[in-house]
Structure 1
Amino acid sequence: MNMDQEAVHLLHGDRAIAATEKVRFFNRAVIGGKGSELQSADGKQLIDLSATWTAAGLGYADPRIRSAVDQVLDNCPGLGLGSLINPQSVELAHKLLEITDIKAHADGADNGRVYFGHSGSDANDIALRLCRMTSVKHGGGTKVLAFEHSYHGGFGKALGLSGVQVESGAKRDDNVEFLPYPNTVHPHVDGNAQDELAYCLHAVRQAMNSNVACLIVEPVLSDGGMIVPPDGFLSGLRSLCDDSGIPMICDEVKVGLGRPGTIHAYQYEGIHPDMVTFGKTLGGGLPISAIVGPSSILDCATGASLLTMGGNPICCAAAIEFLRILIDDRLDERADRLGRLSRGHLREAIDALPEESRRHITDIRGRGLAIGVELDDGNRSEQFAEKVCYQADRLGAVVYYVGGHVLEITPALTIDEHTLYNGLDLVVRAIDDVAAGHVPDDAVAGFGGW
């Protein structure tokens, strides 16, 4: 079977995959990948600026992850924590407690706990559920404070507590209050960044009462449009939660673990959350998630959140190796440096475009290697963003949009500068092509997603 035949075969077989788990599919099939490049079935090399929505934090086929996994596969101590404790899960739990400075563990007390799952969705679902159980146990309520345009998961309680999902038609949780997330580019109120911050923190203060079981927040609002909040937002939330005795959950699933230029995104303001959730890049390419939190919540009900292969030693071994690489290679510092250089590179490339194309790019923002390029064709059009992603794919770069019209650039933390800049140049070229009318409407007729 030649390359063209294989591409057709794969795309025909794609009909067997349920549409309910497809987001923004192109007529593109990939058959392999190494580092920050993917190989399509038609033989084309693609620079991946998404890293599978940040899950491929070390790129694809990292030999260090493979070696760690092979050692466990050669002598595997069970497959999960349902009834057996394995050394990999214990080692990973201690490592996560060591690097995650939650409030309960900041004073050195031995009251931090770790829960293992398979994805960020189940980590957030269970974290929220356990907070509610603990609150009710102590005479409180089940209300959750979350934020507009947030994303915490694709199923369970996390689905109905995700702003972008509810805004797209998912059933809203019966006891959630969505609050405004500060946005200095498109503010809720007139004034400066401090006025916007004050408005949003006031809304949180007004929502807090004895019925609230917890507050969950993304330190960078990724799927909502790669929104970087103004300084003082996270520390302001921490103070409000402290005053009300409400647990604060930081969702670090997508924009954490080195990507924001710090190990954790919440560290930008030096706070100590009560709970932190992880997923995506934690497994170095294998499915694993984690909750790090206090024993008062994570020990509240033995056996209440069972997953047969939670704490799988194979995935735990990959996560241990990922964390070792993250710390030893200082990938957080590298992400900070590359992020600053990348935003500068984008600005220079965009400045070189004709005015007709430049006017469609209204903002470049981000933290570390979590970068947002906001597009606007006069209506902040989603179709314009769709066309840019489509054309970038045709030119040889993988990039997606979030928040309706913001290109999300989240390459592997290990991407080399030359490959990164080449990919960014392709994205800028795609914007220019779309602005010039080179991509017809019917090219993205089947482009799905919320």
Structure 2
Amino acid sequence: MATSSSSVDGLVSGLDSTAIITQLMALERQPQNRLKVQLQTEQTALSGYQAINTKVAVLLTATRKFTDPLTTAWNSLSVASSSATVSASATFSSTSGQLAFDVLQLAVAHAVRSDTVAGLTAPVASAPAGIDITLNSGDPAATPTHITLTDGSLQGVVAAINAKKLGVSATAVQVSDGVYRLQLASTTTGAPSQFTVTGLSIGTAASSTGTDAQISVGSGAGAYTVTSHTNTFGGVLPGVTFTVSKLETGVTLVSSTSGDKIADAMQAMVDAANAGVTLMKSLSSYDTTAKKGSVLSGDYVVGQLRNQFGRAISTAATGGSSLKTVGVQVDRDGVYLFDRAVFLASYQADPVSTQNLTTSLATTLQGIATKATTSGTGTLNLAVQGRNAAIKTLTDGISGWDDKLAVKQAALQRRFAALEVTLGKLKNQSNWLAGQIGSLSTSRNG
């Protein structure tokens, strides 16, 4: 009974053992609590890095509007065609312009067909003597390419020519039951697509002659012709590429430039840069009044990245030119300032210089953003990895302390329970002795 009663908190000793154990465990938990504070700091820093990385990634996308040829803002030049059969697209132009022309000739691929033969296995050349094909045969300097044959039949010649990959495709064309022709065709168009073939044992004739596309620009005595090996023309109207598809007269192309879309892309890039700069400043600032730093105060990675953004303006300047001439400046806090009116005026006055300066800034910022965000090697990416590793170590440490503290608490509870049991036994012994002494006294008095 004594053992059972002593298990009750302080039943014998009168001690509040639960409160005592709680206080002792609070002392034991101090190392773990310090780890938890460190963990919170690391997690907050990680969130800061991740937020900065997101902002810089947005900037990286914005810079591609000036550096990626497929999505570049410089393609904002528009061009209109008066003909549904003439398609046109614009890239970059120093000026707006207009072009009037007639389509005189379309580009044609050279082709040769043979006399008919009876079947695919009919002989059309000697093996292994072979045949010779001369590409761009209109050029006096052109030289033949020899093709050695292991099979002089129609199907053997077709296979050998196609295996050579000269830019001439060979086909056995069935023209009636059991009757075939060898068809040779250039894979390109224009005068350079002309070719000759020798060494065949059957007759051949050109089924189409490789010719250039041709347009006539202007009218009267001042008209002039422009040729292209393909049906696509470039450079006739600066910044415009157009493709013809039929003979016709009176085609007009009108190109016009508008800097508004380019200015919009410039504003988006500046805004993206400022979002990153502002966030980095907020996360790394130090309050001198409160004498308290932010989560990334003094952080080397963030400090270096802020400096790189600040220096980008001077780094991107080319040929002694200043980005101020295209409306871009940076203040003492590293925040970018963009004057849209100055940019549009610069683009109107000197679009080439404006493009060069703007693209240089975009390229510089893109390089900074890429080095910061690239997976596995970027400075921000590596910083995130480092914080994640620290968080794992701290989390493991905290978990380890949970086990240690559980063992410690159980030991304290056993110790205090044992104390109550011991005190209970002593109390029982004391009561027994007191009873014995009392009995002796009663016997003497009796």
Q: TM-score under structure 1 normalisation?
A: 0.18
More helix by share: 2
More strand by share: 2
Larger radius of gyration: 2
